[in-house]
Structure 1
Amino acid sequence: MPQPKLVIAGGNGFLGQHLAQHFQERGYRVVILGRGTGAGPNYARWDGRTLGPWAAELEGAEALVNLAGRTVDCRYTPANKRAVIASRTESTRVLGQAVAACAVPPRVWLNSSTATIYADTAGDQPANTEAAGRIGEGFSVEVARTWEEAFAACPAPATRKVALRTSIVLGRDGGAFPVMAKLAGRGLGSPQGNGWQWMSWLHITDFCRAVEFLMAESNAEGPFNLCAPHPLINRDFMDLLCQQLRPWVRLPQPEWLLEVGAFVLRTETELILKSRKVYPQRLLELGFHFEFATCEAAVHELLTPANN
């Protein structure tokens, strides 16, 4: 039986490296499409905009996962906004062209999106599901909508297409979690702003497992919320960090101070102040089981030394 192949576009980052390891351990040949330098038969260089020799890697692939896109951890200047959107739409469109040119196209194409497509959720309002979620407004929503529109516009009749509306992914070695834990350990473990904003999240292990599940589930197509089933408010999340890290002080973090910090760090407070309350209804209906269903379990595992 031939070795199955998984192609990960934009696979050099935190999520891509974990996915690559996850599937290599399961016998896949994993090919990374990246913009940087790389070597070997399992790396193909691309620019995320134009067709090239890299497109041949999609031929006969079991799956294509597209994670390509410039980080949103930046100031929302007009130039940065254009670059953030273009990096997502252009890479998606050129992948669509490559899929269309395949004699044997990938069986399934999972394309990144984001759970920030939904509107802010206040108080005890119900969580956003794929069927009943309220689409929001603002730049982060524009990013998600244009990304999904570009994906939907790619004709791929022989390829099942899944949009991954991913929440904040928590891991030891990348993404936002190590920075948040470091700051909390040094005294910034108080609620951010008023602390009542909702936080949807997902452990990196369950991210990889959900991708594998959706690859195998023949009835899975369209948008899926990739998040744990139990969102929590920011002040409860910060409490979990502090219970593990036990900092000697918890300095206040009012919104005005966060704005100053965001300006200095060249980022935006929306990344921590937007209220995201999302529920993985479609994953659960298909029978997906979370290893880390509660944030308490996830934070405990991530902050426990690996050799324990």
Structure 2
Amino acid sequence: MKRRIILAGGTGFIGTYLKKRFEADGYDVVCISRGKQGVKWSDKERIVDALENSEMLINLSGKSVDCRYSDTNKWKILTSRTETTILLHEMIKACSSPPPVWINFSTATIYQDSRIKPMTEEKGVLGDGFSEKVAKTWERVFFSERHSQVKQVALRTAIVIGDGGGALTPLRRLVKMGLGGKQGDGKQMVSWIHIEDVYRTILWVKEGKISDTVINCSAPEPVNNEQFMKMLRKQYAISMGIPLPERLLKWGAFLIRTEPELIMKSRWVVPERLLKSGFLFQFETIDSALDSLQR
């Protein structure tokens, strides 16, 4: 019988990559989703059956934050994370042999906007805006119950770089249109991680090489927005890019139905606990990460 891993909400950009990588390693990967793939969230009996004797549960569920923050969308962003996490607690309690590891994705956006110093797990200051409150509530729900047979880890994930989707898609479009200059003053920090290093971090946790239960999942060398866009232009051999001041970003964000915060917030997060545990990143620098991608 194949070893089994459960991906809750695993049909998006990150989940699709993780499914492919784990299957290549010989795992049977079961997805829980609202769509046609895998087990439906409403089928509690099948969820319990899937979790029973599995090796790991990875929860990625949640509505995308790439939208306008209307009251309706805010409610969906929050409840799509908390309600599924509450349900997974219930399903794990129904197992006689639950997965020994439960990784719940969180977000590096939980920290306050910072241009002065990096945010670590020990000394990072949590923010008070909408996104930060969602992240704090999600983690609070995740840790509200502890399961004696299960190690629970919250993965505070930075912007994930990879082929096939994610935050790079709209930025690449801007670069190709000649609008790939700095956004705002360009000094806001961009914390990022290559999708392969997300996978390797999950393996690191699964193999018990780190004991912490809250981990910053980000590359060790964040850059500012101006540097990030410069490297992205380099990928397409485009030397110049028209900068977008903050007032134009707000207007553009409104037109494409998203929030300017996704670009304007300074996310300066470093993976102190991963580094102390001896984890070695395959992609430490933004140029190496971008060079690995398809053009």
With normalisation by structure 2, the TM-score equals 0.96
How far the C-alpha of 1:33 sits from its partner, in A, is 0.7
Match of 1:23 in 2: 22
User: Using a 3 Å threshold, how does the CA distance of structure 1 residues 25 and 303 change in structure 2: closer, same or farther?
Assistant: closer
- Give the aligned partner of residue 217 of structure 1: 208
Are 2:47 and 2:91, in contact at CA under 8 Å, matched by a contact in 1? no
Q: Does the residue aligned with 1:190 lie in a helix, a strand or coil?
A: coil
Deviation, structure 1 residue 252: 2.4
**2-side partners of 1:249 and 1:132: how far apart?**
38
After TM superposition, give the deviation of residue 286 of structure 1 in Å.
Answer: 1.1
1:8 shift after superposition: 0.3
Change (3 A) 1:289 1:103: same
Aligned length: 295
- Measured on the aligned residues, the alpha-carbon RMSD in Å equals 1.4
In structure 1, the partner of 2:236 is 245
Equivalences for residues 39-58 of structure 1 within 5 A: 43-47=38-42, 51-58=44-51
- C-alpha contact (below 8 Å) 1:7/1:64 kept by paired residues: yes
**1:91-102 → structure 2 map (5 Å cutoff):** 91-102=84-95
Listed as ranges, the gaps of 5+ residues in structure 2 are none
Matches within 5 A, 1:2-81: 2-38=1-37, 43-47=38-42, 51-81=44-74
| 2:184–2:249 contact (8 Å) kept in structure 1 | yes
Could you tell me how far apart the structure 2 residues matched to 1:182 and 1:246 are?
Answer: 14
Task: Return the alpha-carbon distance in structure 1 between the equivalents of residues 106 and 243 of structure 2.
Answer: 33
Q: Structure 1, residues 68-101: CA drift from partner, whole Å, max 9, x if none?
A: 0001111111111111100000000100110111
The answer to whether 1:160 aligns with 2:159 is: no
Superposed displacement of residue 248, structure 1: 6.6
CA distance in 1, matches of 2:123, 2:87: 31
Instruction: Look up the match of 1:229.
Output: 220
Q: Does 1:108 align with 2:98?
A: no
Distance 2:240 2:219 in 1: 30
Query: Which amino acid in 2 is paired with 1:129?
Result: T
Select the residue among 79, 82, 93 that pairs with 1:86.
79
In 2, distance between residues paired with 1:83 and 1:52? 25
* Aligned mates of 1:113, 1:157 — CA distance in 2: 22
Q: In the TM superposition, what is the alpha-carbon distance from 1:51 to its structure 2 partner?
A: 3.3
Matched, 1:285 2:276: yes
CA apart distance, 1:3: 2.3
CA contact (8 A) 2:162 2:194 kept: yes
Q: Provide runs of 4+ in structure 1 moved above 4 Å.
A: none
1:264-303 deviation per Cα after TM superposition (whole angstroms, max 9, x unaligned): 1111000011000001011111111101000011112215
Task: Please say if 1:175 is aligned against 2:170.
Answer: no
Equivalent position of 1:194 in the other structure: 185
Counterparts of 1:229 and 1:256 in 2: how far apart (Å)?
31
User: Are the counterparts in 2 of residues 190 and 238 from structure 1 also a CA contact under 8 Å?
Assistant: yes
Q: Report the CA distance between 1:250 and its aligned residue.
A: 1.8
Q: Secondary structure at the match of 2:103?
A: strand
- Does 1:146 pair with 2:137? yes
Cα separation, 2, equivalents of 1:140 and 1:26: 35
Deviations 1:32-77 (Å, cap 9, x if unpaired)?
1111012xxxx21214xx8343222100110000000001111111
Of 244-253 and 82-91, deviating more is 244-253
**Contact 2:108/2:158 (<8 A) preserved:** yes
Q: Which amino acid aligns with 2:39?
A: A
Percent of residue pairs bearing the same amino acid type: 42
Q: How high is the TM-score relative to the length of structure 1?
A: 0.92
